[in-house]
């Protein structure tokens, strides 16, 4: 019988095959990443849409939007002291159990930063987070105070800055749809801003923010000021406008931005969600005021 010779790969052929595979992988990885980024962007917008629907349901039940931050009732502390607008939306984003636990926790302790009983402080709520920022998918440790905290990617718009109170969500705000003279489709309600580098700002449950206003914590002005103590190496006073940021830049906590390319999603008072490019920064103060009377075209 004649032996059948089987020809194998030569070393050069093997190297060529490996080179082709490497090129294909190099082409596929960016494509896969683009698909993931697109999916994260869609889910991020969907989360904001859910918050918009929840805010509308809250308004129907209470005849106003939730306060940006609960602080006082008359001359006394609010029963849910320092809690955020997101906390008030818990019953309307299918978080009834957590809302019940929150109410019970405030009856046990007036300090929302004490866990237990305030388990919400360290409970991740997916609808409050953008999947583009993996840091928000799990609890983090605030570097200065060492609290274990859950974070949010979405901050309410308090207006131009923490002093003006011309937006919809600020400390002890009580804003009705009728109060939005500029029109709900032309007025910002909330927008994207990743948590600060040190996780000291960006808690969804409750917090202090700047000077007990909630500013930079879960609400923010579109031209925010830094009123924290300015020392050597710290962030300058401001003004901080809508612009690209970085998770490694602590000063990015003072302005709206996102991990998406080119801009960020914003929720409007009518419940619509739009992606605004950073070039829209000059018109954001007009969009942030509820009754400024400005004439502005909202970009798409």
Q: Report if residue 165 sits inside a domain.
A: yes
The number of domains in the chain is 1
The tokens 């859950």 sit on which residue? 150
Q: Report if residue 2 sits inside a domain.
A: no
pTM for the model: 0.89
Q: Give the per-residue pLDDT at 19.
A: 79
Per-residue pLDDT of the chain (300 residues; tens, 9 = 90+): 555 555 566 777 777 777 787 777 776 656 555 667 788 899 999 999 999 999 999 999 999 999 999 999 888 999 999 999 999 999 999 999 999 999 999 999 999 999 999 999 999 999 999 999 999 999 999 988 899 999 999 999 999 999 999 999 999 999 999 999 999 999 999 999 999 999 999 999 999 999 999 999 999 999 999 999 888 789 999 899 999 999 999 999 999 999 999 999 999 999 999 999 999 999 999 999 999 998 887 776
Domain span holding position 141: 11-288
Q: Report if residue 119 sits inside a domain.
A: yes
Q: Give the per-residue pLDDT at 5.
A: 53
126 phi, psi to nearest 5 deg = -55, -35
The CA distance from 266 to 170, in Å, is 17
Q: Report if residue 3 sits inside a domain.
A: no
Q: Report if residue 185 sits inside a domain.
A: yes
Q: Report if residue 125 sits inside a domain.
A: yes
Q: Report if residue 6 sits inside a domain.
A: no
Q: Report if residue 294 sits inside a domain.
A: no
């Amino acid at each position: 019988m004649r032996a059948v010779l089987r020809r194998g790969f030569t070393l050069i052929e093997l190297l060529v095959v490996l080179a082709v595979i490497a090129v294909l992988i190099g082409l596929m990885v960016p494509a896969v990443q683009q698909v993931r980024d697109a999916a994260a962007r869609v889910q991020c917008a969907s989360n904001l849409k859910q918050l918009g629907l929840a805010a509308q349901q809250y308004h129907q039940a209470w005849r106003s939007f939730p306060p940006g931050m609960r602080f006082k009732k008359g001359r006394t502390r609010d029963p849910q002291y320092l809690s955020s607008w997101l906390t008030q939306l818990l019953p309307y984003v299918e978080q009834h159990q957590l809302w019940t636990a929150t109410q019970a926790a405030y009856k046990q302790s007036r300090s929302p930063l004490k866990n237990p009983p305030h388990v919400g402080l360290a409970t991740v709520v997916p609808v409050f987070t953008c999947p583009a920022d993996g840091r928000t998918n799990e609890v983090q440790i605030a570097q200065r105070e060492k609290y274990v905290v859950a974070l949010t990617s979405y901050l309410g718009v308090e207006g131009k800055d923490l002093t003006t109170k011309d937006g919809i969500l600020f400390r002890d705000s009580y804003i009705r749809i009728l109060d939005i003279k500029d029109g709900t489709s032309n007025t910002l309600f909330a927008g994207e801003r990743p948590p600060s580098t040190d996780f000291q700002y960006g808690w969804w449950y409750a917090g202090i923010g700047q000077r007990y206003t909630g500013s930079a914590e879960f609400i923010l002005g579109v031209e925010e000021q830094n009123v924290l103590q300015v020392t050597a190496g710290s962030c300058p006073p401001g003004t901080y406008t809508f612009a690209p940021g970085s998770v490694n830049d602590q000063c990015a906590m003072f302005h709206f931005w996102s991990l998406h390319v080119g801009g960020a999603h914003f929720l409007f008072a009518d419940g619509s969600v739009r992606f605004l490019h950073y070039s829209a920064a000059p018109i954001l103060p007009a969009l942030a005021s509820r009754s400024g009377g400005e004439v502005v075209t909202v970009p798409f």
